[in-house]
Amino acid sequence: MTDIAMIEAARARLDGHVRRTPLLSSPFLDEIAGRRIFVKPECLQHTGSFKFRGAWSAISALSLEVRVKGVIAFSSGNHAQGVALAAKMHRIPSVIVMPSDAPRIKIENTRAYGAEVVLYDRANEDRDEIGARLSKERGLTLIKPFDEPLVIAGQGTAGLEIAEQAREEGIDKADVLVPTGGGGFISGIALALEAKAPGFPVHPCEPEGFDDATRSLASGRIERNATQSGSLCDAIVTPQPGNITFPIMSRLCGPGLVVTEDEALHAVALAFSRLKIVVEPGGAVALAAALFHGETLGETVIAVCSGGNIDGDIFRMALDRHGG
Amino acid sequence: MTDIAMIEAARARLDGHVRRTPLLSSPFLDEIAGRRIFVKPECLQHTGSFKFRGAWSAISALSLEVRVKGVIAFSSGNHAQGVALAAKMHRIPSVIVMPSDAPRIKIENTRAYGAEVVLYDRANEDRDEIGARLSKERGLTLIKPFDEPLVIAGQGTAGLEIAEQAREEGIDKADVLVPTGGGGFISGIALALEAKAPGFPVHPCEPEGFDDATRSLASGRIERNATQSGSLCDAIVTPQPGNITFPIMSRLCGPGLVVTEDEALHAVALAFSRLKIVVEPGGAVALAAALFHGETLGETVIAVCSGGNIDGDIFRMALDRHGG
């Protein structure tokens, strides 16, 4: 199980390879929210999302003998790019298994980060079977996207930074809002803050209709989403919280906050005009919650923006609708 | 005259108030340029540009007695916002004198940062006369945009950060590219690097048709631009280098690099898709030079992105033209 010692060990392995993203703020956002908002922009991380932290943590922890054979991941999103670049920087091979109908730009980006992309036909092929065969043939190690202690430890390094940066800013109490899919990121952050900044409540943030973490925390057991696609916030949509992440979230996080897609797009537009950062809709749900659903929160909020891999068309839509 | 001691003193005054902007990079940009590119994103600075550094430096250096009476500046752009916020954070009044036909959004933003905006009619009123009268009546201190040693010292704090961050990244030699208008920013950076990272050549970058610094460095005397408006890169357009900044540039900087407006827009689009930052066209000319005019540069380039205050319409134009 991930604990603070594992997170600190991950931080030592990531040192010099990961970016320490800054804390940003704007008086304009404070005014909208009626409270102080600080933003932790993980969109500025390598590959445009926090996923690089977990990927580096997991790959760097492998024994040299195992590591050199390479790694494999199933993802068409931010995890794919994080694993591909972390593997490339370790000078080891990576294989990313993606559905053949994944957007071409995601396939190209993942290849450009150095991965071998293996496409499969969603209708007729079994992803897990392909992965198992490749792993066996080549001795590849599977890097899971969230339900894996070393990945959670890597994501937790962002929590260590938040604790330090809050101290630097003189913040002694804040609600910490984290965009949540499978729960790896929020679990790591919550474990780090439990040790380094106790009294900073941690809240998962999700889009309407895909609020499995919020409902699971409310009911006390793992709840599923009714649908699994069709959200603009695709980066953080997963069927349900993980078996490893849910107990951590259950102990340390909540209650969850839910925003509409349009609120997420509004946060994208405000991050553009007021913070000068590019955030994807899923990555903006915590900022949206801080801006538009802060009633239950304290005077100071730290909203994590988890990723910035957004298509130009969606970005234009955010600016068109919300006057950027 | 500004020297390294003044820059270090400015840094001590700015400590805890200014953001230490990170160094960003992307393998995609390296590939386009055929060299390693690091980006120093001053668009992430308070008020969205480096101007906050110089404003803070100048205001914080005033004696308390003088400071409390307030400050005044002539600007409708980034300098206005930098002075307004730095004054607000010092809890002193600021007056910003702007033409009455300045874009409404710039007037509103400057007011929102806490300034009193005084509008004048460009056709019938004399800006300097209005400023002189207000200064006399209220005891306001004029904060010049670039030709002022304390402002140059404040901008130089970005150069101290560049020297440190280069060392952290293991960069022992790099060409440093800086968007240049009046020359305050590049002068400060060049003075800091002269002391802290000698052997890092510093180059001004400008848009075609507004390349007064490049031509002045080539001829050895101050050259003027033929026109003074009509550039998308408005943030860095000035009539000519300053009387204080030109001798510094002349001793420490050059040769200049000139890019087209379309190349600046292309850099805006690539900063969006690859770095997840919002850069204005004028702020992107150094990145554009690194990407598209690097033939004369070494293996490693540090391109400063000086500001991110861009209208949504211009941003859309950049994405439309260059496939963001």
CA-to-CA distance for A269 and B49, rounded, in angstroms?
A: 19
Share of chain A above pLDDT 70, in %: 100
Residues 6+ apart with CB under 8 A from A209: A225, A226, A227, A231
Please report where in the chains the tokens 């079977």 appear, as a residue.
Answer: A129
Measuring CA to CA, how many Å separate A108 from each of A23, A114, A140? 31, 10, 22
Say if residue B132 is in the same domain as residue B209.
Answer: no
Q: Which residues of A touch B284 (CB under 8 A)?
A: none
Query: Is A130 within 8 Å of A70 (Cβ atoms)?
Result: no
Closest CA to B152 of B300, B302, B290, B2: B2
Give me the sheet containing A257-259, strands edge to edge. Answer: A36-41, A300-305, A175-179, A202-207, A257-259
Q: Which residues of B touch A43 (CB under 8 A)?
A: 276
Give mean pLDDT, residues A84-101.
96
CB atoms within 10 A of CB A199: 9
Nearest CA in chain B to A25: B46
Q: Is B24 on the interface with A (CB under 8 A)?
A: yes
Say if residue A200 is in the same domain as residue A299.
Answer: yes
Mean pLDDT in chain B?
Answer: 96
The CATH number assigned to the domain holding A110 equals 3.40.50.1100
Q: Is B315 on the interface with A (CB under 8 A)?
A: yes
Say if residue B96 is in the same domain as residue B210.
Answer: no
Cβ of A21 and B20 within 8 Å? no
Say if residue A179 is in the same domain as residue A311.
Answer: yes
* Token couple for A86: 């972390």
Number of domains in chain B: 2
pLDDT in tens, B170-199: 999 999 999 999 999 999 999 999 999 998
pLDDT in tens, B194-232: 999 998 999 999 999 999 999 999 999 999 999 878 889
Identity at B232, one-letter amino acid code? L
pTM for this predicted structure: 0.96
pLDDT in tens, A221-232: 999 999 888 889
Say if residue B230 is in the same domain as residue B286.
Answer: yes
Identity at B29, one-letter amino acid code? L
Say if residue B57 is in the same domain as residue B195.
Answer: no
* Token couple for B270: 């690539």
Q: Which residues of A touch B168 (CB under 8 A)?
A: 16
Check pLDDT > 80 for residue A324: no
Boundary of a domain, candidates A142, A163, A189: A142
Query: Is A277 within 8 Å of A271 (Cβ atoms)?
Result: yes
Say if residue A125 is in the same domain as residue A8.
Answer: no
pLDDT in tens, A136-188: 999 999 999 999 999 999 999 999 999 999 999 999 999 999 999 999 999 99
Query: Is B212 within 8 Å of B224 (Cβ atoms)?
Result: yes
Query: Is A280 within 8 Å of A152 (Cβ atoms)?
Result: no
Residue B1: per-residue pLDDT: 87
Q: Is B165 on the interface with A (CB under 8 A)?
A: no
Cβ of A272 and B312 within 8 Å? yes
pLDDT in tens, B307-318: 999 999 999 999
Say if residue A57 is in the same domain as residue A205.
Answer: no
Residue A102: per-residue pLDDT: 83
Q: Is A276 on the interface with B (CB under 8 A)?
A: yes
Q: Is B171 on the interface with A (CB under 8 A)?
A: no
Boundary of a domain, candidates B107, B122, B142: B142
Q: Which residues of B touch A278 (CB under 8 A)?
A: 272, 276-278
Query: Is B187 within 8 Å of B155 (Cβ atoms)?
Result: yes
Residue A312: per-residue pLDDT: 94
Check pLDDT > 80 for residue A106: yes
Closest CA to A283 of A81, A80, A77: A77
Backbone angles phi, psi at B38, to 5 degrees: -110, 145
Among B26, B42, B276, the strongest candidate for a mutation testing the A interface, having the largest count of A CBs within 10 A, is B276
Nearest CA in chain A to B306: A276
Give mean pLDDT, residues B15-25.
96
Check pLDDT > 80 for residue B90: yes
Give mean pLDDT, residues A44-70.
98
Give mean pLDDT, residues A109-138.
92
Please report where in the chains the tokens 């009268």 appear, as a residue.
Answer: B133
Say if residue B138 is in the same domain as residue B191.
Answer: no
Q: Which residues of A touch B51 (CB under 8 A)?
A: none
Mean pLDDT in chain A?
Answer: 96
DSSP A49: B
In b/e form, how buried is each residue of B268-278, taking b as 16+ CB within 10 angstroms? bbbbbbbbbbb
CB atoms within 10 A of CB B198: 8
Task: Say if residue B255 is preceded by a cis peptide, omega within 30 of 0.
Answer: yes
Nearest to A276 among B48, B273, B319 (CB): B48
DSSP string, A231-265: -TTGGG--SS--TTHHHHHHHHB---EEE-HHHHH
Give mean pLDDT, residues A108-122.
93
Give me the residues paired with residue B204 across strands: B178
Check pLDDT > 90 for residue A20: yes
Give mean pLDDT, residues B301-310.
97
Q: From the CA of A164, how many Å to the nearest CA of chain B?
A: 14
Backbone angles phi, psi at A305, to 5 degrees: -100, 110
Q: Which domain holds residue B104?
A: 52-142
Residue B67: per-residue pLDDT: 98
Q: Is B316 on the interface with A (CB under 8 A)?
A: yes
Boundary of a domain, candidates A111, A142, A173: A142
Q: Is B181 on the interface with A (CB under 8 A)?
A: no
Check pLDDT > 80 for residue A302: yes
Q: From the CA of A27, how many Å to the nearest CA of chain B?
A: 8
DSSP B253: B
Residue A21: per-residue pLDDT: 97
Banded pLDDT at B268 (limits 50, 70, 90):
very high
Closest CA to A54 of A196, A191, A203, A156: A156
Q: Which residues of B touch A27 (CB under 8 A)?
A: 85, 112-113
Query: Is B210 within 8 Å of B247 (Cβ atoms)?
Result: no
Work out how many CB contacts closer than 8 A connect A with B. 70
Say if residue B152 is in the same domain as residue B131.
Answer: no
pLDDT in tens, B106-153: 898 999 999 999 999 988 998 889 989 999 999 999 999 999 999 999
Say if residue A36 is in the same domain as residue A69.
Answer: no
Is A99 buried (19+), middle (13-18) or exposed (0-12) by CB count in 10 A?
middle
Say if residue A80 is in the same domain as residue A211.
Answer: no
C-alpha neighbours within 13 Å on the C-beta side of residue B18: 28
